[in-house]
Structure 1
Amino acid sequence: MKSLFGIDKSKLDILQSNVLIAIIQRLENKLYSMDGKINTLQEKCNGLQLIVNSQNVTIQSLHQSSSSITDQHNAILKVVDNLSLTIDHLNNKLPTCFSNQQSQLVSSTSTPETYPLPNEDTLIKVLPLQNNHPSTIKLPPSAVPITITGSSIIRDLLPGIMNYNDKLCNIKIRTKGGALINHISNLVKTNRIDKQFTDSEHVIISTGSVDIKHITPESAIQNIRSLIRTFKEKLPDASLALCTLPYQYDPSLKPSLQQQLNKDIEDFNTKLVALDKEDQVQIIAIKFTQEHIDTRDGIHLNGLGTKLLSSSIDNYLSKCI
């Protein structure tokens, strides 16, 4: 019977001590060799552990940075809210004048040919009247209160007194720049869109342009459903209309990302239109194209886009009032 290294066990007793010592040394060398390999493996494991720990630190750092950015974003939104309330307060102190003729909600960037400004003679005649008799220029109590709010897509719309089907309407524009859908929902819930927001008989909201960059169309629609529920609880007797979103052409995005973003916007708009029947909410479907987008940032509407938004809202209000 053979043992280690091919030596018969029966002959071990006759081997000289120096042979036994040599065998033991060979065994010892083998063990040392195995031990060295184990140590090498242990060192590699330790190295991998260091890499994993480093990655965990990086991930934790990213989470902390994300939380910090979120906190900063919320702080900015809070500042925007406070500024909006201040502007509302100042607007309420200004005298209001109106015309019985219907005019479109127009952008300050509209062309003079389409929307001419008053001439100097008109200004000279009108301004003294406002300065001398500000208390006589009041909004009639029968005017229908309407609020248009949402992200900066609506920023160039102008407020004013409109006439729809022989009914005067007091239209307020409340832009909440950078606001997410859930932020708009929270403003509705806490009555911070406008201090007279709950008096509105008709509300038009354009929101989702910011969300669609960060979440899926499905998630954005779920947030829209939540907004609708919040609105119905807060203003059960008011009508709500939501606007479809314009495409975006952000020059900082890669073409592949840009294509995916607009695909998501199209998907969102399709699902939004479907809510018309499902959630008893009105949808203002607007056929925006690239020519309606400001080429400087590829996100906001240009004068042509604001005119399309304005006319679409006009058409909606003409039918529902």
Structure 2
Amino acid sequence: IRPPSISITGTSITRDLERGESTLDGKVFKVQVRTKPSCTNEQMTELVKWKHFDKSQGFIMSIGTVNMKYDTPDVTIEKTANLIREFKLAYPNTKLALTTLPHIRVSGLKPTIDQFKADTDEFNARLASLADDYTDVIKVRYTDKMLLRDGIHLNSSGTKKLTSSMNKCLKQCF
């Protein structure tokens, strides 16, 4: 019996996640991680349309941080909803889970980092409204201390928090 495969993708905050076989509560999962640095929701949607990713039982995405640097929460939520629609068409038998986003310390086109944080909080709160029978939202409780000095990437404690939040979802959803 082959273990269920789980695909994880997203921006560079997924870069340090572990790949390979993982055991959670006695259940084995085969985990593959495909990091897409600086990927926007629109680019991820195109990758999904082209079926760029291998089929798997479950799919976890951490996407939206790049869009939040330039778009409003409304626009980013709409782009995320479009990504979900396209995912369901391309991978109809695959469960999707999206993670909430960290507060990065780069403002992009926002007037201040505080505005970026407020917009990220709004996006994270509204992300739950996109959950349904095929789409879950993984609430990751990031703190500002979980970022590297560059203000963008997760440090080891941030990666551990992301991993533990994903593991909780795997235990419950798969």
Identify the TM-score tier after normalising by the shorter chain.
over 0.9
Alpha-carbon distance in 2 for matches of 1:170, 1:284: 19
- Determine if the alignment matches structure 1 residue 236 to structure 2 residue 89: no
* Structure whose residues are more often helix by fraction: 1
- Which of 210, 221, 226 does residue 66 from structure 2 map onto? 210
Alpha-carbon distance in 2 for matches of 1:263, 1:256: 12
**Maintained 8 Å contact 2:60/2:97:** yes
**TM-score normalised to structure 2 length:** 0.93
Shift of the alpha carbon at 1:160? 1.4
**Within 5 Å, which residues of 2 pair with 1:51-70?**
none
**Maintained 8 Å contact 1:144/1:167:** no
Query: SS at the partner of 2:6?
Result: strand
- Which stretches in structure 2 are left out of the alignment for 5+ residues? none
1:270 maps to which residue? Answer: 125
**Maintained 8 Å contact 1:151/1:176:** yes
Alpha-carbon distance in 2 for matches of 1:146, 1:319: 14
Query: SS at the partner of 1:210?
Result: helix
- Which of 58, 61, 81 does residue 225 from structure 1 map onto? 81
1:319 maps to which residue? Answer: 172
Alpha-carbon distance in 1 for matches of 2:27, 2:80: 30
Shift of the alpha carbon at 1:166? 3.5
2:34 maps to which residue? Answer: 174
* Structure whose residues are more often strand by fraction: 2
- Which stretches in structure 1 are left out of the alignment for 5+ residues? 1-140
Shift of the alpha carbon at 1:256? 5.5
Give the CA RMSD over aligned residues.
Answer: 1.9
**Maintained 8 Å contact 2:95/2:134:** no
**Maintained 8 Å contact 2:99/2:140:** yes
Q: Counterpart amino acid of 2:168?
A: N
Alpha-carbon distance in 1 for matches of 2:43, 2:99: 17
Alpha-carbon distance in 2 for matches of 1:228, 1:244: 15
Largest Rg, 1 or 2: 1
- Which of 224, 249, 252 does residue 105 from structure 2 map onto? 249
**TM-score normalised to structure 1 length:** 0.52
Q: Deviations over 1:81-127 (max 9, x none)?
A: xxxxxxxxxxxxxxxxxxxxxxxxxxxxxxxxxxxxxxxxxxxxxxx
1:299 maps to which residue? Answer: 152
Q: Counterpart amino acid of 1:168?
A: V
Alpha-carbon distance in 1 for matches of 2:111, 2:89: 41
Percentage identity across aligned positions? 36
**Within 5 Å, which residues of 2 pair with 1:269-288?**
269-277=124-132, 280-288=134-142
